[in-house]
Amino acid sequence: MTRFIEPGARVLVTGASGLLGRSVAQRLVAEGYFVTVLQRRASALDGVREIRGSLADPAAVARATQDQDAVIHMAAKVSVSGAHEDFLEVNVRGTQRLLDAAQSSGVTDFLHVSSPSVAHAGVSLVGAGASQADPRGAVGSYAQTKARAELIAEARGASGLNVLVLRPHLVWGPGDGQLTSRIIERARSGRMPILGSGAALVDTLYIDNAVDAFLAGLRRLPQIAGQRLVLTNGEPRPIGELITGIAAAGGAPAPRLRLTPGLAKGAGAVVERLWGLSERIAGPRADEPPMTKFLAEQLSTAHWFDQRTTQQALDWTPRVSIDEGLERLREHIQFTGSVL
């Protein structure tokens, strides 16, 4: 008998403080799922059961997974800087604790949220699929630890847990305090660079499409467990065009700063060392470095993905185009005065 995870199921969502996690949790509630969220601060979400705590707290993790049917694991340390140990604690050990608690509590279905960066070694990805995560080839602490976490999650399939891996790529749109707001803020201040010609083709994912895909993945998880799928709009755009479009939606001028990829990578490596030194001396910083080697690679190499397997497995197609998403972003910022 075909089994789906339908409304009425009990679902734990970690990482609901971010745009994607918050949006998925809200949609689940609206669709009739019983949602629990695990996070350190109050969620401000209506209709959810809230467990305050972190992935570093085994007791909180155990409470959160109790009596759940499925888990959507989005919580992660996402940054281009910071101590490697901090990434290990959240992304690797935190995932391990959550998997252990989920299986001990009888959870049968686990949707693990990863990133295409776990299989990106700095070279162009052209029409790529979701190849196996490679911690040794991944660039930077975030990608390396997320790669390890993904491998740990996938291995649980051998012990009876249904695991589906989804890798959303560059989610953007209204409410995004990460990619979208940083592009706009840096463009306004003249600090948003275009590397090389800006012609490298890059796939991205508009937030509404991401939420639709996650709901589809959760519902069909028992049928497609064991797969790893990259999620994008399926509309590769030149990176310079996309950055300019997001900046324009926020009322910012088109970026004029141009750097060669080689110069940006070299400068990024130097900035990373100096940033790390300053954090060791003065403690963690609230801002992000203006350039890193990883960021330079992301801005100068193609990374777009074949979406045929993803769309077939999820029975999903994006409903909001890039151009429509940019218009929705522009209208949101004009109405609210903010990306958030």
Contact 70, 105 (CB under 8 A): no
Catalytic: 33?
no
Asked which of 174-178, 224-228, 290-294, 312-316 is least confident by mean pLDDT, the reply is 290-294
Contact 204, 172 (CB under 8 A): yes
User: What average pLDDT does range 4-26 have in this prediction?
Assistant: 96
Judged by DSSP in three states, 268 sits in helix
Q: Would strands 109-113 and 162-168 be described as parallel, antiparallel, or unpaired?
A: parallel
Query: Could you give the CA distance from residue 61 to residue 72 in angstroms, rounded to a whole number?
Result: 13
33, 34, 110, 142: the catalytic one is 142
Query: Could you tell me the pTM of the whole model?
Result: 0.95
Q: Check pLDDT > 80 for residue 179.
A: yes
User: What average pLDDT does range 8-27 have in this prediction?
Assistant: 96
pLDDT digits (tens, 9 = 90+) for 295-324: 888 888 999 999 999 999 999 999 999 999
Q: What are phi and psi of 131, to 5 degrees?
A: -70, 165
- Which positions ≥6 away from 158 have C-beta within 8 Å? none
pLDDT digits (tens, 9 = 90+) for 56-107: 999 999 999 999 999 999 999 998 778 899 999 999 999 999 999 999 999 9
Domain ranges of the chain: 10-172+205-233+304-320
CATH number of 10-172+205-233+304-320: 3.40.50.720
**DSSP readout, 198-243?**
S--EE--EEHHHHHHHHHHHHHHHHHHTT-EEEE--S--EEHHHHH
- The sheet carrying 125-128 orders its strands as 125-128, 303-305, 201-202, 237-238
CB atoms within 10 A of CB 64: 27
Torsion angle of the four alpha carbons 171, 64, 60, 25, in this order, in degrees rounded to the nearest 10: 30
More confident residue, 158 or 4: 4
Could you tell me where the beta strands, DSSP code E, fall in 94-175?
A: 109-113, 125-128, 162-168, 171-172
